Structure 1
Amino acid sequence: MAYRNWEVIKISYCERAGEEVALEAEIVYPATFLPEQAPRIIAHRCSRGLACNSFHQPGCCWSGTNPGYDPFKEPEVEKPASK
C-alpha cells in the first residue's frame, strides 16, 4: 500500500516571519509491489504558514495565499552567450 509522509526539504530564513522556517513537501511513496514508480510530491507547506496567513497581506506560495510569489526561489543566473 502506498503511504504519504511530510518531509522537510529545506530550512531557510524568512524575512516575513522574521525567523527560520521549514519548507515541507508531502511525498507519496508507491506500494512495495510497484518498485519502478518514483515518489510523487503532491503538496507543499511552510512551518509558519498559519501565522503568515493571519497577516492582512498575502504571503507566498508556501503559505498558500499567493501562488505567484516564492521568496525562497534561487535567482536564475544569466549565462553569457557563446559564440
Structure 2
Amino acid sequence: MLVLSRKKNESIMIGSTIEIKVIAVEGDQVKIGIEAPRNLDVHRKEIFDAIQEENRLATLNQRDWGALKQIFQNKTD
C-alpha cells in the first residue's frame, strides 16, 4: 500500500485520468473529491463490497435456475 500525505487542495493522480483531491479536513474526517472518466465506476468501499456480494448471490441463483430448468426439461422429455 502506498501511503501519501496531502494537505487541503493538494491532489494525487492515478494514471493520467484519475485525480483525487483533498477538499477539506474536519477533525478526524477528510473530504475528498474524485475526478475520473464517466465510464469508470467509483464507489465507497462498503458499497463496492455490497455490489460484489449481490453479484455473487445472483451468480449462485443463476446456477440454481439452470439446475431447476434442467430438472423440468428432464421431466418433459
Do the structures match in fold with TM over 0.5? no
Q: Higher strand proportion, which one?
A: 1
- Higher-Rg member (1/2): 2
Q: TM-score under structure 2 normalisation?
A: 0.32
Q: TM-score under structure 1 normalisation?
A: 0.31
Higher relative contact order structure (alpha carbons within 8 Å, sequence separation ≥ 6): 1
